[in-house]
Structure 1
Amino acid sequence: MNDLIYSATMSADGYIAGPGGDMSWLGPFTGADTAADELAARTGALLVGNTTYGGDDPNEGTDAEGAFGGTWHGPQFVLTHRPPTTAAPDVTFTDDLEWAVGAARAAAGERDVNVLGADVARQCLELGLLDEVVVFVVPVLLGDGVRLFDRPGGRPVRLEHIARSTEAESTYLRMRVLKD
């Protein structure tokens, strides 16, 4: 069975995007990263929020545009209440989270499903569907923006370290979600 993994690059103060979803802050921190390459190789499908899908790619217009710096290609399942009128190759739009998780797991085969987007990750966590959290912490303080997790009034969720390392410009943390 494959895992449902939420991955994100995060500032040292807990933000994965700046105000309004701005991702330009990430530019200086992109580059070769063994842990990111391994995560990309394990990924068979993406489960993506609509804001992330249509968002601000710091590599837009370059060979590095797209998931994992442009190195990953495959099926994407985008959660939205407003699907576009024109289809995109390998992209399925839906407003049904549980269906999207099942379809993404089936499309991924033996590999994992990577969740991109804080709101989608929160919803997966609340439904008990999320298996892992992978965070690349980079040395910058954003001060405001989109948090890694934002669950006001939410209960604590315990995580167990699977792996951690420091390489190049980031600290890599891989944690399993402990389910009650």
Structure 2
Amino acid sequence: MAKLLYAFSCSVDGFLAGPGGDMSWLTPYLGPDPAVDALIPRIGALLVGRTTFDGDDPHRGSPGEGKAFGGGWEGPQFVLTHRPPAPVPGVTFVGDLASAVSAAREAAGQKYVNVLGADVARQCLEAGLLDEILALPVPVLLGDGVRMFDRPGGGTIGLERLHPNWYRVIHQCRKSAAAMQ
């Protein structure tokens, strides 16, 4: 069965996007990356949050604009949303997390389902569905924006290191003592 992988680029201070979802900060850092190049053929499907699907594209103005990994990957995409837009070729809009994960896993086969979007990744963690995390830090400090994992009042989530910046989720969302009060 396919594993769910939250793979993302982030600033060293833990932001995926700048204020308002701005992804232009990432554009100067795009280019060949051995970790990304090795990951792409291992992805069988994408599970995408609606905000990410509608969001800013760091590949704006390039031939890969509007495509996954700047055009480096093609395949089935499942967007978690309660407000589906008009149909988009190759994209399935799904209204609940369990159905979206199930459909994405089935489509991915033995490959990864790559989770895109901080909120959908948080939902997968809280539901005990996320298997692995790959963090690709970029040498910049943004100071503000969309955090890679934001769960105020949340508890510790244990990770086991598999490779540099690649982790297996071993403890799902244990609540902190303060969150349980």
Q: Would the TM-score normalized by the shorter structure come out above 0.5?
A: yes
Question: Number of paired residues?
Answer: 171
1:59 is matched with which residue? 59
AA aligned to 1:176 is R
Deviation, structure 1 residue 69:
2.3
List structure 1 segments (4+ residues) > 3 angstroms apart after TM superposition: none
Displacement of 1:50: 0.5
Once residues 16 and 138 of structure 1 are traced to their aligned partners in structure 2, the CA distance between those partners, rounded to angstroms, is 10
Tell me which residue corresponds to 1:175: 167
Unaligned runs of 5+ in 2: 173-181
CA distance in 1 between counterparts of 2:115 and 2:19 reads 21
Answering whether residue 114 of structure 2 is matched by residue 114 of structure 1, we say: yes
Q: Counterpart of 1:170?
A: none
Quick check: which one's strand share is greater? Answer: 1
Q: Which moved more, 1:55-64 or 1:115-124?
A: 55-64
Structure 2 residue 15 is matched with structure 1 residue 10: no
Please tell me the root mean square deviation across aligned C-alpha atoms, in Å.
1.0
TM-score by length of 2: 0.91
Mapping 1:35-74, distance limit 5 Å: 35-65=35-65, 66-74=67-75
Specify every segment of 5 or more residues in structure 1 that has no aligned partner in the other structure, as ranges: 165-172
The residue number in structure 2 matching 1:27 is: 27
Offset of 1:151 from its aligned partner?
0.6
Mapped to 2, the partners of 1:76 and 1:132 lie a distance apart of: 19
Percent identity at matched positions?
62
